[in-house]
Amino acid sequence: MSHKRIPKRKAAIAAGGVVALGAAAVLLPNANASQDGAAGDATPRTLRAADASGLSAQLATALGDSFAGSYYDSAERRLVVNVVGGDSGMVLRAKKAGASVRQVGNSTAALNSAARTLKAEASIPGTSWAVDPRTNKVVVTADSTVTGARWNRLRSTVRGLGSGMATLKKSAGTFKTFASGGDAIFARTQGGTVRCSLGFNVTAGDGSPAFLTAGHCGVAAEQWSDSQNGAPVATVDQATFPGSDLALVTYDDPGTQAPSAVDVGNGQSVEITGAAEATVGATVFRMGSTTGLHNGTVTGLDATVNFQSETGGVDTVTGLIQTNVCAEPGDSGGPLFTQDGGAVGLTSGGSGDCIRGGETFFQPVTTALQATGATLGAGDGGGAAGDAAGDAGDAGDQQPGAGQSDTDPSGAGDRQSGAGGHNSGPAYGSGRTRTP
């Protein structure tokens, strides 16, 4: 098979220029913030999810220890803020800022303490936990491999936290990095061919064109090609997994032009305008080479996931975004983004599939940019996403094209928007950080 060389001044493996593989999700019409509720009254403001994350950050600072998390009510388009204690002044302050306020029993400090207990006593492969501000509890999930003595240990730990502090649920699938299939970038290792995809194009700290992808891809191989048997066109600069799941890969040709966009199929793309913080309750979109475009909701922040390592131990990744967006092997490394062009996350792993559903976890883009020193696009590296250049709502009628089998290694000569995963083969140890 002949390889495809990235042309000078144009990145062929960019986040926007690839095959769309059968997705049912469509981008929704843009929802602009209204002017309801001026700062001086107590009426909750109507907000976009992107604006809600900024208001939440402001209130977290203003309320201090009284702040116990927040989430976005997408039906009412309002930010709901949890407040601990009966301080009416704190409640009024949050309401005047435009939030809908509810009083809860568990403080942020108490919830974080529960998470630390879980880490110390129940870091079991196949488990995860995250704070759910909608229930004001820590939600602990066990996959199908957690049985017998390990299940008893986990259940005992959760019960010890109290029913008002934590809940335990089972997942039908298995927590894993989505690690087979994908058709965007390739590498060769002693264990076989590794296949992943980029998430977002960025500019490295030294000004070089580069892209972000999953760390479990970056630690597997150093050099990457845009075709299965092609010559390397990009080299890993930094990669970390476990702990985090992020990698920065620089294009070998310094003249490569790497557009800041995600292709969503049928010639449609969403321009990436900046990094965006995730908000529980907000709608997000994921693009992947196996399952195409799908949307769902953020269900948790600062999630901890305990993946089973190749050596039989535990690969723990912390600080992840938890969602109910479906994903399958081959979607690893792909972009999680908002309708208005905010880069939110990089697909890490999860359980389930796009038939049964499940949990999927993402490395926050803001964390990846901070860790690598990279910036999105021409240099917007850290703030909330601004207005998209181009109307994302125009993609509302799109239906991405027919899917490609996950066993097809070639991609049929086409490209899929930032997605993918490594296939089975390479052995992955613990505590790997690659900085060539």
The predicted structure's pLDDT at residue 367: 97
Q: What is the pLDDT of residue 150?
A: 95
**Domains in the chain with CATH codes:** 176-426 (2.40.10.10)
Hey, how many other C-beta atoms are within 10 angstroms of the C-beta on 1? 10
User: What is the per-residue pLDDT for 180?
Assistant: 29
By the 8 A CB rule, do 224 and 187 touch? yes
Which region holds residue 35: left if phi is over 0, alpha if psi is between -120 and 50, else beta?
alpha
Q: Which amino acid makes up residue 43? A: T
Give one DSSP letter per residue of 217-240, joined into a string.
Answer: HHTT-SEEBSSTTPPP-EEEEEEE
Instruction: Write down the pLDDT at residue 31.
Output: 32
As a whole number of angstroms, the distance between CA 249 and CA 212 comes to 6
CA distance 232 to 187: 8
Residue with tokens 């620089």: 250
d(CA 13, CA 390): 22
pTM of the model: 0.74
Question: Mean pLDDT, 10 residues at a time, over the chain (436 residues)?
Answer: 36 38 34 36 78 90 92 92 83 88 94 95 94 95 94 96 95 68 63 78 92 90 82 92 95 86 78 93 87 92 92 92 88 88 92 86 97 78 36 34 30 32 30 47
Report the DSSP beta bridge partners of residue 210. Answer: 202, 250
Give how far Cα 151 sits from Cα of 113, 148, 156, 170, Å. Answer: 21, 5, 8, 10
Backbone angles phi, psi at 176, to 5 degrees: -160, 155
Predicted confidence at residue 178, as pLDDT, reads 56
Between CA 420 and CA 183 the distance in angstroms is 6
What is the DSSP annotation of 20-54? -------PPPP------S-TTS-SPPP--HHHHHH
85 class by beta-carbon count within 10 Å (0-12 exposed, 13-18 middle, 19+ buried): middle
So which residues are the catalytic ones? 216, 245, 332
